[in-house]
Amino acid sequence: MCGIFACHNHPDVVKFKPTALRLSKAVRHRGPDWSGSVISNQTILCHERLSIVGVAESGAQPLTNADESIVLAVNGEIYNHRLIRKHLKHPYHFKTTSDCEVIIPLYLEYGLDAPKYLDGMFSFVLYDKKLDRTIAARDPIGITTFYQGRSLSQPDSVYFASELKCLHPVCDTIDSFPPGHVYDSQTDEMTRYFEPTWWDEHKTPDTPLDLKVLRETLEKSVRKRLMAEVPYGVLLSGGLDSSLVAAIAQRETLRLKKLAEETNGSATEQNPDGLDKGEGLVGIDDDNKLSTMTFLPQLNSFSIGLPGSPDNKAALEVARFLGTKHHVMTFTIEEGLDALSDVIYHLETYDVTTIRASTPMYLLSRKIKAMGIKMVLSGEGSDEIFGGYLYFHGAPNKEEFHEECVRRVKNLHLADCLRANKSTSAWGLEARVPFLDKEFLEVSMNIDPKEKMITKEKIEKYILRKAFDTSDDPSAEPYLPEKILWRQKEQFSDGVGYGWIDSLKDTAEKTITDEMMKNPKPEWGTDIPDTKEAYWYRLMFDEHFPTSCASTVMRWTPKWVNQSDPSGRAIAIHNDKYEDA
């Protein structure tokens, strides 16, 4: 990940520059490798860089075209950049090998439609000096965090940033930039460019299930996300989603290692920090096929939990089965509690579910970055796509099941994507999410939802499990141990150890009095916390952010169940399943 801060049409941009640089510095944790800024007319673009692709040469941003009439600041990765370079309509002089630079010629050729051609995760601000025009866009699902702000004292100015902490000192109103949209300063309007076939939640799809297509599309999605010139790894909780991502990544790593050894002899070189170093780059080549030139000879995997946690035990079993170089991290309840205020500062939310799950992820990310890893694959999105949360047991029919899946995917930018992005970016680590690939979403979201429904015979995410089940083919190499492939869903905040959530509730009970619950802050309006834990988090949020930032927060709540606690463990089906086991 990188960090962006920009302002279009500031009345005194030169005088504002020191403030802009200070505000940009607030997200330097996202991009600790280099900083850059450009001023033109009344617009300023600032960038904090995390170098993943184009490390050796000048991939520093903001990027410009040959005559420097276009200025671009990007946060993200464009996986099909080589394909775009090949199929541009007009010749373009590229200054760098950066995957993000292709956005400039796409804009010159397609204008506001440029984001439609991008395959990746991104948010960007582009300034056209000749037209005095700023456009900004965010990836289709909102994997990268992005915000837009306004100031009452400067109504004609528009601000953009990767995180709230850049905007609230200068903005009176802040909104989460909608995923799949592009903003144009010429009209001061947003336009939705992402228009997939599954977008209308009231239109129930009926595409027959094809397990082979489902499996191969996810495999392709994982492989393209190995595009990197730096050490990478996988977050491995031991649950189905992260284990499948790890299994696919490991298969690709072993395939490339074998190919390298056949071609060059030995494929392994040791770094001083003990991590194996490979050569080359993974991405989509000129013929729209996956091509690999860089890899790590041994895949690193990471898990975290309280001592004896379900996730660490399962993750270790998966790692041993796959042969990854696994790193187990344990944390104490006290360490988690001590980190809460910092976690909320980086997350910029007071949602209970997000904070519970983000704290272990935040602690793990620090350890991963300290080891020299700069990019990890993660399993976010699967539960939304396939109805994997335990509350989906209560879906009354396939129509409502599908509606909830679409709603969840559309809101990922306010929940799991926000958690994954900010928990890792807090330490200059980038998280990539294969399940949210555009092509995979097109396949998986159009499957007849009757195939996804949970029954007595079919556990949650049955079709995803079945797509990677090789038990019917004795000659096939299994992707995962059977007990992992069919392991019941554990929400991350549960799987790190049940004592974690229990301790949060207990501490909140001691910290927040009944009198405080009866007298919430007037400025909270109708957004009143309904538990002491939620109240506690809101108070910590208020220590870091003004009330104007609260409009960007969404509370994660399950459907079809009557409960205030969003934990999967609080749903009756969780205990029933284990009692039946």
Instruction: Pick left, alpha or beta for residue 184 (phi over 0 → left; psi -120 to 50 → alpha; otherwise beta).
Output: beta
Residue 109, both tokens? 């050729």
Please give the torsion angle defined by the CA atoms of residues 130, 134, 138 and 139, in that order, rounded to the nearest 10 degrees: -10
Which of 121, 569, 567 is closest to 351 using CA atoms? 567
244: three-class secondary structure by DSSP: helix
| Set 2, 7, 100, 171: catalytic member | 2
Which of 71, 64, 173, 46 is closest to 132 using CA atoms? 71
Which of 398, 397, 516, 385 is closest to 463 using CA atoms? 385
Residue 378 known to bind ligand: yes
Quote the CA–CA distance of 452 and 555 in Å, as a whole number: 25
DSSP conformational letter for 288: S
Quote the CA–CA distance of 472 and 467 in Å, as a whole number: 11
Quote the CA–CA distance of 109 and 566 in Å, as a whole number: 47
Burial of 471 (0-12, 13-18, 19+ CB in 10 A): exposed
DSSP conformational letter for 454: -
Instruction: Report how many helices (DSSP H) and strands (DSSP E) the chain contains, helices first.
Output: 20, 21
78: three-class secondary structure by DSSP: strand
Is-cis flag, bond preceding 231, omega within 30? no
Residue 539 known to bind ligand: no
Residue 85 φ then ψ, to 5°: -55, -40
Q: Reply yes or no on whether 2 is catalytic.
A: yes
Residue 140, both tokens? 């289709």
Which of 402, 451, 448 is closest to 206 using CA atoms? 448
Quote the CA–CA distance of 146 and 107 in Å, as a whole number: 20
Residue 99 known to bind ligand: yes
| Crossing angle of helices 416-425 and 352-370, rounded to 10° | 30
Instruction: Pick left, alpha or beta for residue 142 (phi over 0 → left; psi -120 to 50 → alpha; otherwise beta).
Output: left
Binding-site members for L-glutamine are: 99
Binding-site members for ATP are: 235, 304, 378-379
Which residues are tagged catalytic? 2
Binding-site members are: 99, 235, 304, 378-379
